[in-house]
């Protein structure tokens, strides 16, 4: 199975079968791709990271990616300062690609009760692919 198909399938499963948010979906999908087992507390820590609980702050796709970068970096023995730099550059490149780090801008309709569920599924697929490509360049 091609990576794009795998990403699309896993994102759909996390959103529609597990009914979890974007940060949790990102963190879980990336951890599977990099074969990293996550403690359940790590997964639980992402529960409110969808724009700070729907407030519209930093996008959960960014937050889930940053969490994985830290975990992957430590697993590979990368020094903390280098991980910090990789996170900084990730944020810079994500903003350049998607136009913002802010959920409020990436999801301008907010989190209204009448919004369809998992409105960011397409963006999530793109963001997972972007993150995988970024990590392949920065953390081989």
23 confidence band (pLDDT: 50, 70, 90): very high
Average pLDDT (64-87) is 96
Q: How many domains does the chain have?
A: 1
Q: Is 90 exposed, middle or buried (0-12, 13-18, 19+ CB in 10 A)?
A: buried
Instruction: State the residue range of the domain holding 76.
Output: 3-139
**Measured between alpha carbons, how far is 89 from 35 in angstroms, rounded to an integer?**
23
**Measured between alpha carbons, how far is 121 from 37 in angstroms, rounded to an integer?**
24
DSSP secondary-structure letter at 46? T
pLDDT at site 89 = 97
DSSP secondary-structure letter at 102? B
pTM exceeding the 0.85 threshold for the entire prediction: yes
Backbone phi and psi for residue 102, each to the nearest 5 degrees, phi listed first: -90, 125
């Amino acid at each position: 199975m091609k990576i794009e198909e795998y990403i699309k399938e896993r994102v759909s499963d996390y959103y529609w079968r597990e009914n979890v948010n974007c940060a949790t979906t990102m963190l879980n999908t990336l951890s599977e791709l990099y074969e990293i087992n996550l403690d359940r507390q790590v997964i639980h820590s992402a529960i409110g990271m969808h724009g700070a609980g729907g407030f519209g702050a930093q996008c959960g796709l960014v937050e889930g990616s940053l969490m994985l970068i830290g975990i992957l970096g430590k697993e590979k023995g990368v020094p903390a300062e280098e991980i910090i730099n990789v996170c900084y550059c990730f944020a810079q490149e994500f903003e350049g690609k998607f136009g913002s780090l802010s959920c409020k801008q990436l999801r301008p309709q907010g989190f209204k009760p009448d919004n369809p569920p998992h409105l960011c599924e397409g963006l999530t697929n793109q963001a997972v692919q972007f993150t995988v490509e970024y990590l392949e360049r920065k953390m081989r």
